[in-house]
Amino acid sequence: MISIKELSKSYGELLAVDRISLEIPEGQVLGLLGPNGAGKSTTLRILTGYLQPSRGTVYIDGNDVRTEAEEGKALIGYLPESSPLYPDMLVFDYLEYIAESRKLPADRRLPRIRELAGLCGIEPVMHKSIASLSKGYRQRVGLALAMMGDPKILVLDEPTSGLDPNQIGEIRDIIREIGKEKTVIFSTHILSEAEATCDRIVIINKGQIVADGAMEELLEGQGEAVLNLHLKGADRDEAVALIRSVPGVLNLEAEENRGVLETRIRCRTDLRGEIYQKIKEKEWTLMELHQTNQSLEDLFRVLTLGEEEQI
């Protein structure tokens, strides 16, 4: 459905997207993850035809976005991070206007509006002005806008940004429902969102893809262990230096909480025995030492932070 080949985008000397290549099949829900400034929004804007690439190209169902932009756009519903809504209009009037502008036949407009109102959960606010809606409802109206033309592909840029946990859950449920029938691509830096919603995750950093695959594949592919170690009475700098001296320790995070030094250690293999041997010689109290499964958050930090920033 979507083929991205050696895609790059420069803004002057800034290389925002650097030779990205992706194949996205029909019916997949893909999460595009990355820190702020990683190139997520730029990639989506090129995909939807709002920006031209500096190099490479994007094919939408075989249509080159550089030379067949209109054909490609006709297949895409796009919700940018800031929904392009008219605050002075009533929700129903706005959706009716969008249906007309999308050239839906007159006899299809009302049924389509009702269908989207039910799917997006905006039936209770159809008579209200957009300006009076909460951000969660505005995002739902934005989703209805993006889907009005019944596109094959839905592209969502940070669809849950600024929402509270309840609103995030509601938008997540809608995306899951939409994903049963359409190709969905959405960018986010909320990792739990990607874990709960996506068939496939692509992590980009500094304009490049650093991971691509299903959740299980990504976590299993690291082949690493994560240890939680809590010590009482330990000097932070001394403890960090001691743990880092154990061969196989890749990095660690350490913070003090009410007199307890809480560390999270990433290592090549299970090093609980070796670490215990090191700390038992000290006059520290071992409060906790256990291994946990690596999470998407661990993987994200490993791939998007430099080693010196994690320690």
Q: State pLDDT tens for residues 46-79.
A: 998 889 999 999 999 998 888 888 888 889 999 9
State the pLDDT at residue 308: 40
Q: How many CA atoms lie within 13 A of 190 on its CB side?
A: 17
* More confident site: 80 or 94: 94
> Are 253 and 239 contacting, i.e. CB atoms less than 8 angstroms apart?
no
pLDDT digit string, tens, across residues 179-208 = 888 999 988 877 777 888 888 999 999 999
CA distances (Å), origin 236, targets 85, 243, 262, 278, 282: 51, 11, 9, 15, 13
Query: Please, which residues have CB within 8 angstroms of residue 47's CB and are 6 or more apart in sequence?
Result: 2, 4, 58, 60, 65, 76, 155, 185
Q: Which domains does the chain have, with CATH numbers?
A: 2-220 (3.40.50.300), 224-293 (3.30.70.3190)
Nearest of 171, 193, 287 to residue 232 by alpha carbon: 287
pTM, entire model? 0.75
